[in-house]
A = this chain, B = another copy of it.
Amino acid sequence: MSPSETRVLTLDFGGTKLAAAVVDTRGGEICSFLRRPTPILQDVTACITTMFDMGRQALEECGLSTPARVGISFGGPISADRKEVLMSCHVAGWEGVPLPKLASEAFDCPAEMDNDANAAALGSWYFDTHTEPDDMVYVQISTGIGSGLILNRNLFRGGGMAGEIGHITVIPDGPECMCGKRGCLESLCAGWALARDGREALEKASKDSALYQLCEGDPSQIDVQLLIQAARRGDSQAKAIVNRAFTALGIAIANVISLLDPQVIVLGGGVARAEKEMRAVLDPVIRRELYPPFRERYKLRFSHLNGKETLLGAALLHE
C-alpha cells in the first residue's frame, strides 16, 4: 500500500472549533494539523468553505493532492444513514446539509461522516487502547458531553443516535439543561455547566477567595481549568462545584457499567484533563453506585490522545 492510500483527510466540525488534519492510519500519525475557532456568526456555506480551505492547506502541507478519503466528524446529531447533518446545537442552518457528498466532490474521493463522540470512541479504541477491547465506552467530557459505544468490536449506533450519555437524567428535577430538560449529566458536568456554576459562585465570592483572585473578578474568565485551580488552592465553593459535577459523572458512569458491563470506560475531552481531581471523586462514587458484583471488575482509563481522539477516529470511518 502506497503512503497516499493510508493518508486520510479528517475534518472536525466542533461547536467551538474547526480542525483539519491529514492522518496516516497505519500508525495514527498526524501529518499536518490546522485549527481555528468555529465562525459562529458566518452562515453554514461560509463555514464549510473555511473548513474545506483548511483541508486543502492540510493536504498541501504534507504534499498530498488527493487523500485516500475524507473522514468527517460533526459535533451534533446526524442522520441514521450518516449522509446528512440533522442539526448543530451551536450554529443554525445545518439541518439536512449533505456534508459527505460536498466533501467527496471537493476532494475527489470517498467521504464518510459520524458524530464527534463516535469518531472519538473509534480513535481511542483503535489508537489508544492497544488491546482493542471487545466492548468499550468512550465518554467525551468537554463543552458538552457525549459518548461512543464500541460493542462487539464495532461502533454501536442503535437507530443512529445511541450514546447520548450527556442527556441521561442523573438528578431528577436537577438543573436546567441546554436541551430543555432537567438534571441531565450535561447540566451538571459539561464545561458550560461548570462555567455557569462558577459564575454564580463568583457573585457571592469574597475578594480574597481563590476563585475571585484567579479570574480577577471577571466571570467570563471562569472555565473548568480555573475552577480546578481554585479548588486546588482550597476554595470551598470551587471544591463544591467540582465535587458535584464529578459525582454526577460517577453516577452516570456507574449506570452505564451496570447496563453494558464493558471491559473498559475511557474518558476524554477538556474536562477530563483534570485526571487527578476527577479520579479522587469518581472512584469512590462509581464503587458506591455500582451494583456490587461489578465493583471489582470495572476498569476506568483516561485517554492518552490529548484531544486528538476525534481527528484520529474520523480517519477510520468507512462504509
Give the interface of A toward B (CB within 8 A). 77, 86-87, 135, 147, 149, 151-152, 156-165, 167-172, 179-181, 184, 247, 251, 254-256, 258-263, 288-294, 297
Contact = CB atoms under 8 A, between A and B. Distances in A.
Q: How many copies does the complex hold?
A: 2
Contacts of A294: 161, 164
Given A151-B156, A156-B152, A170-B172, A292 B181 contact: yes
A160 B261 contact: yes
Nearest to A165: B259
B168 A258 contact: yes
A291 B164 contact: yes
Contacts of A179: 291-292
A261 B291 contact: no
Given A149-B260, A165-B259, A259-B259, 15 more contacts: A151-B151, A151-B156, A151-B158, A152-B156, A159-B261, A159-B262, A159-B263, A161-B261, A164-B258, A165-B258, A168-B254, A169-B254, A181-B288, A181-B290, A184-B291
Q: Which 5 residue pairs spanning A and B have beta carbons closest together?
A: A158-B261, A167-B291, A168-B255, A162-B261, A164-B258
Given A158-B261, A259-B256, A262-B158, A181 B86 contact: no
A247 B77 CA distance: 28
A259 B158 CA distance: 9
Contacts of A163: 259, 261
Contact of A77 (B156, B288, B289, B293): B293
A118 to B, nearest CB: 12
A313 to B, nearest CB: 19
Contact of A172 (B251, B262, B297): B251
Contact of A159 (B184, B292, B297): B297
Contacts of A261: 157-164
Contacts of A259: 147, 149, 162-165, 168, 256, 259
Contacts of A149: 259-260
A251 B169 contact: yes
Given A152-B156, A255-B169, A255-B255, A181 B289 contact: yes
Contacts of A292: 179-181
22 contacts: A87-B293, A135-B158, A151-B151, A152-B152, A156-B260, A157-B261, A158-B260, A158-B262, A158-B263, A159-B263, A161-B293, A162-B259, A164-B291, A168-B254, A168-B258, A168-B259, A169-B254, A169-B289, A179-B291, A180-B292, A255-B255, A256-B259
